[in-house]
Amino acid sequence: MQQILAEVEKQIAKAGNEARRIFHGRGHCFEGLEHLVIDWFPPFAVARLYRDVEPAWLDELSDLLKTVPDIQGLVIQQRGRGKDAEQNVVWGDVPEQMEVRELGLAYHVKPQRNQNSGLFLDMREGRKWVKEQAKEKRVLNLFSYTCAFSVAAIDGGADHVVNVDMSKGSINIGRDNHRLNGIKGDRVTFLAYDLFKSWKKVRQLGPYDLVVIDPPSFQPGSFIAEKDYRKVIRRLNELTEAKSQVLACHNDPKNGTEFLKQLMLEECPDFKFVERLANPEDFPEAELEKGLKVLLYVREK
């Protein structure tokens, strides 16, 4: 328990009151705590357990987090328990929906949601990179979810961003996220479509200078990486021009960087691998290949 406390206090101190992961056991850097992660939506902590633990252990965790003055409420979710896992506010007045900040920008999150609270915290360095690169660019944000990449790109001076996600609910939150940051609608397009049924529209709005691809690993009926990632990569040839940049992301521990590199090599020979972006320091990984992979490519001709 003491190493949880030490890490939580360290990460909260670094958070600067922004959203952040404050304990990442899943990266196998804290022995015996691989089943625990804790997210920070200031001033509330959301602990997620990836296997069943003794109720006494949970009580101990709760009491421990209560000793941290910054934490004013705690949600504990036990993954794999479906709906029951929601509404597990253990103490404090944790709202259903709230605003958090990241890199100075605001986003809506739902801290009590079992999965996908609205902002994937492990992508902070990706959003920072996009924000720094986006000036005067036409950006395509594939699998946009709540459009956090788009908010970052517009803040970084992008000319236009096209967001595509099949979830209407996520796209609507994406619109709200833009409003929250005072972004006017004419620089952003929202397409609530299944990508595989809307290539024509996506192509018509291009070509793009910067393409972000951040699909799920496994969403049966919608996207299965092993089968569908290739179909997306293949389209890059018609969606981009010389000097266009592509950020290809993959978060399946089963597939290392070679998975994406091989697809790019086979389907997009005009693109050159530039670098793998570093993951945020609040997501320490014992085995880098198992963590989030964010690969940058540039089209040479």
Ligand X SMILES: C[S@@+](CC[C@H](N)C(=O)[O-])C[C@H]1O[C@@H](n2cnc3c(N)ncnc32)[C@H](O)[C@@H]1O
Query: Where does this chain bind ligand X (CB under 6 A)?
Result: 120, 123, 143-146, 148-149, 164-167, 170, 194-196, 214-216, 219, 222-223
Closest to ligand X by CB, 73 vs 280, is: 280
Residues 6+ apart with CB under 8 A from 8: 22, 23, 38, 45, 65, 68
Closest to ligand X by CB, 4 vs 260, is: 260
CB 103, min distance to ligand X, A:
13
CB 217, min distance to ligand X, A:
8
CB 287, min distance to ligand X, A:
21
- Say if residues 210 and 153 touch (Cβ distance below 8 Å): yes
Closest to ligand X by CB, 91 vs 120, is: 120
Which of 229, 198, 203, 231 lies closest to 216 in space, CA to CA?
229
CB 120, min distance to ligand X, A:
5
Distance CA 265, CA 297 (A): 11
Closest to ligand X by CB, 74 vs 151, is: 151
CB 64, min distance to ligand X, A:
30
Where does residue 17 fall: left (phi above 0), alpha (psi -120 to 50 degrees), or beta otherwise? left
The half-sphere exposure of 288 on its side-chain side, counting CA atoms within 13 A, is: 9
Closest to ligand X by CB, 165 vs 209, is: 165
Which sign, positive or negative, has the C-alpha torsion 294, 168, 152, 299? positive
Closest to ligand X by CB, 215 vs 291, is: 215
Expressed in percent and rounded to 5, the helix, strand and coil fractions of the chain are 35, 30, 35
Angle value at C-alpha 142, between 40 and 18, nearest 5 degrees? 15
CB 182, min distance to ligand X, A:
20
Closest to ligand X by CB, 155 vs 165, is: 165
Tokens of 184: 């006017």
Residues 6+ apart with CB under 8 A from 134: 152, 153, 154, 155, 156, 157, 158, 210
CB 118, min distance to ligand X, A:
8
Closest to ligand X by CB, 89 vs 98, is: 98
CB 152, min distance to ligand X, A:
9
Q: How far is CA 274 from CA 51, 58, 218, 261, 297, in A?
A: 38, 44, 26, 11, 5
